[in-house]
Each structure stands twice: as structure tokens, then as C-alpha cells.
């Protein structure tokens, strides 16, 4: 569901005013230490909330494919990292792992910065969330992702 004013995903049912269980700075350090692929892609974690996250995949020539669009695997990586940030923000569990990830490509993604807005729909041992990927100047999301996560007890 999208907020008609901002065009961003509406707050998740599980989102609260509680602070995230991990700060954005600590999450960035976790990625650099334990998940170097995120650093390699250049993903920037802009903000983490309790069950929400905003991440950006900056435009880079290495992310492009034929047609001057962002390659699908780059978009999947961005969505996965954004949801990981939302999961850790809600649970504090850095050992959570992706169980499923389904992506729907809604339109071509121009080779520009891609913004991921993640939110959790359910938090527990099996956590579920969604991500909308947006590019400035493009009407509507370029992709929608749903994912489930296995969270250790």
C-alpha cells in the first residue's frame, strides 16, 4: 500500500515508534564486516527504523545491462539488503537469513539511483516484508518484492 502524499510505502502494521534495535551506523559496520557484497554493490543504508529501512543503490556503470537499464540481480540485491536492515531493525538478530524472495519487475529501471523502501508485515521466527523500488523521475515503482526471513530464537 502506498501513501498518496509521498508515493512511498505506507507505514507497516508492525512499525512502531520504538527505536530500531540496531542503529544505522552499527548496521553499516555490520555490512562492511560480514556482508561485503553490499559494500561492493555500493548500497547505502540511509535509514533504519523499527521494521522499516531506506536504502539506495547508486548509479554505476557496472550495474547496467543492455538498454541502459539496471540489471535485475542488482535490484534483487538492493531489495534483499533493505529487507535485512528492516529485519535487524525490528529484531536485533544479525543472523537472520532470507528464506524466500520474489520480485516483480513492473517497468524498466533507468540507470540512475534506485531507492528501496522496505517494511515488515509480520515479525517473528518467520518474518515477512515487502520492498518497493523507486527511481526519481519514474512514475510508480520499478519493482515490488516480497520476502520471508528465518529469524533465530
Tens digits of residue pLDDT in 10-38: 544 445 678 999 999 999 999 999 998 88
Q: Say if residue 2's pLDDT is above 70.
A: no
User: How much is the pLDDT for 13?
Assistant: 44
Three-class SS of residue 30?
helix
User: How much is the pLDDT for 39?
Assistant: 85
CA distance 47 to 56: 10
| Length of the chain measured in residues | 153
138 exposed, middle or buried (CB, 10 Å; 0-12, 13-18, 19+)? middle
Q: Say if residue 103's pLDDT is above 80.
A: yes
Where are the chain's structural domains? 24-150
Stretch 76-91: mean pLDDT? 97
User: How much is the pLDDT for 7?
Assistant: 60
Class of domain 24-150: alpha beta
Amino acid at each position: 500500500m502506498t501513501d498518496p502524499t509521498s508515493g512511498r510505502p505506507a507505514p507497516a502494521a508492525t512499525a512502531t515508534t520504538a527505536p530500531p534495535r540496531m542503529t544505522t551506523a552499527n548496521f553499516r559496520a555490520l555490512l562492511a564486516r560480514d556482508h561485503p557484497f553490499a559494500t561492493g554493490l555500493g548500497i547505502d543504508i540511509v535509514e533504519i527504523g523499527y521494521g522499516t529501512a531506506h536504502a539506495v543503490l547508486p548509479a554505476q556503470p557496472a550495474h547496467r545491462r543492455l538498454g541502459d537499464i539496471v540489471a535485475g540481480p542488482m535490484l534483487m540485491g538492493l531489495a534483499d539488503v533493505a529487507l535485512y536492515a528492516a529485519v535487524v531493525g525490528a529484531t536485533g538478530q544479525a543472523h537472520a537469513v532470507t528464506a524466500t524472495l520474489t520480485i516483480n519487475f513492473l517497468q524498466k529501471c533507468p540507470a540512475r539511483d534506485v531507492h528501496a523502501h522496505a517494511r515488515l508485515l509480520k515479525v517473528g521466527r518467520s518474518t515477512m516484508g515487502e520492498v518497493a523500488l523507486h527511481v526519481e523521475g519514474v512514475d510508480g515503482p520499478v519493482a515490488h518484492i516480497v520476502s520471508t526471513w528465518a529469524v533465530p530464537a
